[in-house]
Structure 1
Amino acid sequence: MADATTSRSDEMQATMPLRELTQVIRDAIMDGEYAPNQRLIEADLSLTFGASRAAVRTALLELANDGLVDRVPNRGSRVRAVTLEEAVEILEVRIELEGLCAAKAAERITDEEITELQSLRRQILATVDDSDLLEYSTLNQLLDRRIRDISQHRTAVSVLERLRAQGVRHQYRLAFRAGRAAVSAPEHAAIIDAIIARDPQAAEAKTRDHLLSVIKALKVLA
């Protein structure tokens, strides 16, 4: 009887498409709304996001496959805690994939996209001058996303999205560290310059330089 009641309760809840539900929970984890090692209780998530517990369970399984959630036998799910050492390893893998995307972006960028990146370059540098670190972090994420979009390399982008999600917390910490933006902003500008110059080799090299700089800074942070 209890099972039937639960089933009816699930059916009565507003339904959110599974893909959207998964993305919403992913965003909440990446934005720090759920802390590392925090339990993710299916009933609570079901009420919070207006989805059935079955849909929540499926979303958590997908997020576990992406490395954002740990499924603990007989204890449910919890936010996966990525160590600093793991974050460095993730960046070492990302060097090759992001370098590839930057090179492809340099090959495939349109005149309209060049104008867009030029504008983004100005905004990134301006936020550093204004010490607006929150906006700076937002623009950095936008730049990374646009480079991946412009590259049109679906396989690299798919892998990168998973890797970036796993290491995002450590990069957030680094982005807000005093003086870090003044170092990374010119590195981002150099990547943009190479891409809009349609120079694949330079775009790949500048991307590599930037991520090596991030790795070095993370190790110092440790």
Structure 2
Amino acid sequence: MTDATTDQQDLTARIRDAILRSDFAPHQRLIEADLSDRFEASRASVRTALLELAGEGLVERLPNRGARVRAISVEEAIEIVEVRMGLEELCARKAAENLSDEDAAELAALRDRIAEAAGRGDLVGYAALNQEMDRRLRDLSGHVTATQLLERLLAQSARHQFRLAYHPGRINQSAPEHIAIIDAVLARDPDAAAAATRHHLQGIVDLLSELR
């Protein structure tokens, strides 16, 4: 990989992270000159990054008007979670099948950290650990195609995921669900891992429907 390719990927990642952090609001125009100054990159590199992010569904191109942050409706967020169900069930199933003793020890430690954060009511720490758990299960699955599709879907629905994470009482519901997924994977039970994953994601669909 050349330095130029690495620099381009880094720029794309930095703009992506800024969008996911809500540094830019939905429908906000993304001015190439402004982004060039902010990220100390050439306008050509910014233009390439915006094209890549448009392909991911985070940015939309406007005819003769440049680009803006794409807004994801609640209805679309629900559809994304419904698609995620099949992919995440697959990853959970594969993770349970592939789990090594070394990976099991690391996953068990992550389980304890999730339980501790939930017990403290540490919403920020808990949200970060949940993301770590999702990444770990995708890695353990070894399923490249499912992982690529999930990462794109998760990026598109990140704003709604953030909103749900801070919904009153959500941590008390989601923590046992996440722990159940990990326990099923640790037990090397693919069916239980898939079922626990579906149960958790169906709860997200239900909550999004209520918020709608």
TM-score range, shorter chain: over 0.9
Percent identity at matched positions?
A: 58
Match of 2:71 in 1: 81
Within the alignment, does 1:211 sit opposite 2:178 as a pair?
Answer: no
Within the alignment, does 1:104 sit opposite 2:94 as a pair?
Answer: yes
Q: Aligned AA for 1:97?
A: L
Q: How does 1:3-42 map to 2 (within 5 A)?
A: 17-42=7-32
Given that 1:16 and 1:51 are in contact with CA atoms closer than 8 Å, whether structure 2 keeps it comes out as: no
Q: Normalized against structure 1, the TM-score is what? A: 0.91
Match of 1:4 in 2: none
Instruction: Tell me the SS of whatever aligns to 1:81.
Output: coil
Among 118, 122, 125, the alignment partner of 1:135 is: 125
Within the alignment, does 1:50 sit opposite 2:40 as a pair?
Answer: yes
Given that 1:117 and 1:192 are in contact with CA atoms closer than 8 Å, whether structure 2 keeps it comes out as: yes
Among 109, 114, 127, the alignment partner of 1:124 is: 114
Match of 1:178 in 2: 168
Match of 1:7 in 2: none
**CA 1:15–1:50 in structure 2 vs 1: closer, same or farther (change >3 Å)?**
farther
Cα distance in 2 for residues equivalent to 1:195 and 1:185: 16
State the Cα distance separating 1:16 from its structure 2 match. 7.0
Unaligned ranges ≥5, structure 1? 1-13
State the Cα distance separating 1:206 from its structure 2 match. 0.6
Q: Normalized against structure 2, the TM-score is what? A: 0.96
Match of 1:70 in 2: 60
Cα distance in 2 for residues equivalent to 1:50 and 1:110: 44
Match of 1:113 in 2: 103
Q: Aligned AA for 2:80?
A: I
Between structure 1 and structure 2, the one with the greater Rg is: 1
Instruction: Tell me the SS of whatever aligns to 1:127.
Output: helix
Instruction: Tell me the SS of whatever aligns to 2:41.
Output: coil
Within the alignment, does 1:152 sit opposite 2:142 as a pair?
Answer: yes
1:40-80 per-position Cα deviation (integer Å, ceiling 9, x unaligned):
11111111111111011011001001100010011111100
Moved segments of 4+, more than 3 Å:
none
Match of 1:197 in 2: 187
Match of 1:11 in 2: none
How many residues were matched structurally? 209
